A and B are shown apart, each in its own frame.
Chain A
């Protein structure tokens, strides 16, 4: 089954940009992944799906500041013009025929 490895937890300033990484394990580099945001004390929120070709498909109401991309086995979530409400845990998710996995999460701190 696939394994997802997420980048270490970054800190970034208000108004800046940050790029989070989710890496697929060997043999699964073509998988689609989904990004989810979880603010403190809240349920997760679906942000977007990102495919191996770099296409991404955002959920309803997700601001234009959020975008996705990919390179090889890496899937990225880029957040531009950081706002205080972007401080959250970010999880990636993928699946195969009969299972699904989540990455360990990346905690984004907005300074």
Chain B
């Protein structure tokens, strides 16, 4: 059974940093692209960043490029999102998800990030 478990969310001040982690199990992690998607309170889904199975290909939404860094450790089946220079508008539930043929096919349960002073 595929499982994706996010952690690392919490309260951080504007301008601060936070690292999210997604622990994956139930599939051969290195064979699949992975993605982060966020959802601000009461809003829709917004793509944040994606990484290929090997970790060498990364993509970012314009809203986070230069501030967020996606990475993966295939030996540990973990996906990470390093977030810096955080803003109030980054407040959201962050989901990791598994990609199959470029589309999302499985979602984690999410972790809440609150950026506030």
Interface residues of A (CB under 8 A from B): 32, 34, 36, 43-46, 49, 59, 89, 91, 93, 95, 98-105
Contacts and interface: CB of A to CB of B under 8 A. Distances in A.
Given A46-B105, A100-B35, A100-B102, 11 more contacts: A43-B107, A43-B110, A59-B105, A91-B44, A91-B45, A93-B45, A102-B37, A102-B44, A102-B45, A102-B46, A105-B44
B108 interface: yes
Contact of B107 (A45, A95, A99, A101): A45
Interface string B83-117: 00000000000010000011111111110000000
A100 B46 contact: no
Contacts of A59: 105-106
Contact of B47 (A34, A49, A100, A104): A100
A92 B109 CA distance: 19
A46 B108 contact: no
B50 interface: yes
A34 B89 CA distance: 26
A89 B110 CA distance: 17
19 contacts: A32-B103, A36-B107, A43-B109, A43-B110, A44-B107, A45-B107, A46-B104, A46-B105, A93-B45, A93-B103, A93-B104, A98-B59, A99-B47, A102-B37, A102-B44, A102-B45, A102-B46, A102-B47, A105-B44
Contact of A43 (B46, B95, B102): B95
B26 to A, nearest CB: 12
A46 B107 contact: yes
Contact of B44 (A95, A99, A100, A104): A104
A36 B105 CA distance: 9
